Structure 1
Amino acid sequence: MALEFFPGLPTMARSNWRVRCPLLKGVCMKIGILCFTPLGRKLFVSDLLLKKTARLLGHQAVVLRSDRFQFLFDKNQPRFFYKEKKLSRYDAIIVRPGMTTDIDLKISVIKQLQLAGHTVINTYLPIARAKNKLRTLQILNHEKIPVPRTVVISSMDHLDYAVSLIGQFPIIMKAPYGLQGAGVVIFETKRSFVSATDFLSSIVKNNVVIMQEYVREAKGKDIRIFVVGNAVVAAMERKAKKGEFRANFHLGGSIQVADLREEERKFAIQATRALGLDYAGVDILRTNDGAKVLEVNSCPGLEGISQATGINVAEHIIKYAVKKALLHK
């Protein structure tokens, strides 16, 4: 199944890579994969894998590019077009929101699909929550799901106080929006932090900044847990490459199957549910105080998790989409 997408998949994992029959025999659905890749750029491997998996499961599947949609609002009901033609009916649309700028504007297409009556996985509001790291922290904290010690500021006047609240260096600094490790930097010492004051001023001037403790005992590792519905379907341990502190697979981090603890499984499901997501990649750190949720990703990549575990996560997403669509019929 789609092994050309995963040249690094271990031999043992390859032998277990099988696509089973559709959820219900005879059920053939029309499924759209909504991606936000700019026109002229290649689609992500994950988008193509979802399409191929859906087809192998007996469904019709196409990739829909967000830039190809048009809306018409007038005295009649709003109308929806794709490539200048009336949008055909889809049983389910799986959203892959891989954007980091103009998020509120770009995800309006998701809301319009929902208003038009399409079954959407993940929906507008949960994606808006997950794409905003500050909003995610607020929700997780409210639900008493543990997170690393974090301070949020919107003025340079409070930078020193924020550092004192964190307690010690290194300190991780994040922009509220980011993907695959982008917008995340580390300051190893106070000296490096002070030397970057001008740079930080330009960031803080236009945005809030999230400052977070660096968890030494994690040793550059985190756990990516893939949740679909209310179930954990796969998990991998990621380790940052030498000289890097971010463990992201797309930044060269190494990956292997994770042996999950019950606490980690519980927090991953709770975090996904708290944000209202149908599926998510939940990043967890192992600390001396137990598991802490680092991030909840509404557009998790499928390539790394599939290579590490040999599990076709795309199949789980497609089957979940089919179940949700059947319930909405």
Structure 2
Amino acid sequence: MDIALLSVSMNVYSTKRIAEEAQKCGHYIELIDHTKCSVKLGMDKPRIYHREEDITNEFDAIIPRIGAKVTRHGVAVVKQFEMNGVFSTARSLSIARARNKVRTLQIMARKGIPIPETLFSINPDNIKEQIEILGGAPVIIKIQEGTQGLGVILAESKKSAKSIIDTFYKMDTSILMQEYVEESNGEDIRIIVVGDKIVASMKRTSELGEFRSNVHRGGSTAKVKLSAKEEYIALNATKYLGLGVAGVDLIRSKKGPLLIEVNASPGLQGIEAATGINVARKIIKFVEKNGLRKRK
């Protein structure tokens, strides 16, 4: 198969691993920087260009690894590949939904997937009341499109929460607030779903003095055994968003497991190291199965 790997650099661990496994499986794989792609529309068939090269009919499948800062353009490029009949491990609409935390949580709430108590607003005049609606401080404040723990703040008092929220509102930054689940104790669970199967899972624990457990924030990792409820949440959250490959993040609470977010381009470094599972190979096998079927 000929596969396009949509990513900005081969120096990124996850991108490099996926490319390595594709080559080991005998496929041609090419790094396509989606920020350097253009889509030409008109009376003729739409064309996709990478710099000046026409790549419209060059690939059987694409693996999108779209960065947060270029989501809109990356999604448009993925959409054009889809419309041209190319298989993608993540649909354009699914990427857009997963990148927006509020949209993801709205879908999960409608489908009955348990999530933390969450509130979002753009009204700067009743911040105090918003905090009270959520149950009071402490609260977690999140930028709606942040990744890797960036834009996630713990406000331990009403005063600090009000100050932080007011600042974001003045910066015209979209945020959401969530209850602080103290019993999660700086731990969360990352589950990788490929197709309709859970292929790997790990527990992430924050370093001392840090409540965010992301590996990029210095968190440690370890294997974890999932409960039946956790498996159910991960598989169904992925299905409801329409993703072929996803990283699902959960926390454990007194009320049971709660979904935090779903990542359409999950990192592989931490989970491959923690579990010893070749997740990149699982992704390539998924592409083989579905890309060939779509090409036929």
Question: Normalising TM by the smaller chain, what interval?
Answer: over 0.9
Please name the residue that 1:238 is paired with.
204
Looking at structure 1, the residues matched to 108 and 169 of structure 2 have their Cα atoms a distance apart, in angstroms, of 28
Give yes or no for contact 1:152–1:211 (8 Å, CA) kept in 2: yes
Q: Which letter does structure 2 place at the counterpart of 1:123? A: R
What pairs with 1:195-214 in structure 2 (closer than 5 Å)?
Answer: 195-196=163-164, 198-203=166-171, 206-214=172-180
The one-character-per-residue Cα deviations of 1:137-160 (angstroms, maximum 9, x if unpaired) are 110000000000101111112311
**Residue 200 of structure 1: how far off its partner (Å):** 3.4
> What's the secondary structure of 1:156's corresponding residue?
coil
Say whether residues 1:85 and 2:53 are aligned partners: yes
Gaps of 5+ in 2: none
Distance 2:238 2:106 in 1: 14
Q: What letter is aligned with 1:279?
A: V
Q: Distance in 1 between matches of 2:126 and 2:249?
A: 29
Q: Deviation digits for residues 264-293 of structure 1, max 9, x if unmatched?
A: 011000100010100100000100010110
Query: 3-state DSSP class of the match of 1:155?
Result: coil
Q: CA deviation at 1:134?
A: 0.7
Residue in structure 1 matched with residue 228 of structure 2 by the alignment: 262
Deviations 1:41-80 (A, max 9, x none): 6631100110001101111112111122222223222222
Residue 324 of structure 1 aligns with an amino acid whose one-letter code is N
Whichever residue aligns with residue 30 of structure 1, its letter is D
Which of the numbers 180, 185, 193 marks the counterpart of 2:148?
180
SS of equivalent to 2:266: coil
Match of 1:26 in 2: none
Residues 251 and 42 (structure 1), Cα distance of their counterparts in 2 relative to 1, 3 Å cut = farther
1:176 CA drift (Å): 1.1
Which residue of the partner structure matches residue 155 of structure 1? 123
Match runs of 1:4-43 below 5 Å: 29-35=1-7, 37=8, 43=11
**Structure 1 residue 198 displacement after superposition:** 4.7
Partner of 1:193: 161
| Superposition TM-score, scaled by structure 1 size | 0.86
8 Å Cα contact 1:73-1:79 kept in structure 2: yes
Aligned partner of residue 153 in structure 1, secondary structure: coil
Percent identical across equivalent pairs? Answer: 38
Alpha-carbon offset, residue 197 of structure 1: 5.7
2:192 matched residue in structure 1: 226
Greater shift, 65-74 or 89-98, is seen at 65-74
CA distance in 2, matches of 1:305, 1:189: 34
Q: How much does 1:108 deviate?
A: 0.6
Distance 1:154-1:53 versus aligned 2 partners, 3 A rule? same
> Which amino acid is the alignment partner of residue 129 of structure 1?
R
* Corresponding residue to 2:65 among 96, 115, 125: 96
**Gap runs ≥5 in structure 1:** 1-28
Superposed CA offset, 1:283-316 (max 9, x none)? 0010001011011010110000000000010111
| Structure 1, 212-221 or 180-189: larger mean CA deviation | 180-189
- How has the CA–CA distance of structure 1 residues 288 and 71 changed in structure 2, closer, same or farther, with 3 Å as cutoff? same
Aligned to 2:95: 127
Q: Distance in 2 between matches of 1:65 and 1:102?
A: 11
Residue-by-residue CA offset, 1:124-144 (whole Å, 9 max, x unaligned):
011111001010011000000
SS at match of 2:178: strand
2:182 aligned to which of 200, 216, 221: 216
> Residue 108 of structure 1 aligns to a residue in which SS?
helix
CA positional deviation for 1:326: 2.0
Structure 2 length-normalised TM: 0.95
2:139 to 171, 174, 187: 171
Which residue of 2 is the match for residue 319 of structure 1? 285
Deviation (angstroms), 1:170: 1.5
Deviations 1:81-129 (A, max 9, x none): 2231221421211111222x35223321111111122111111011111
Q: CA RMSD in A?
A: 1.5
Query: Distance between the aligned counterparts of 2:62 and 2:86, measured in 1?
Result: 7
Count of equivalent residues:
294
Check the 8 A contact 1:89/1:118 in 2, yes or no: no
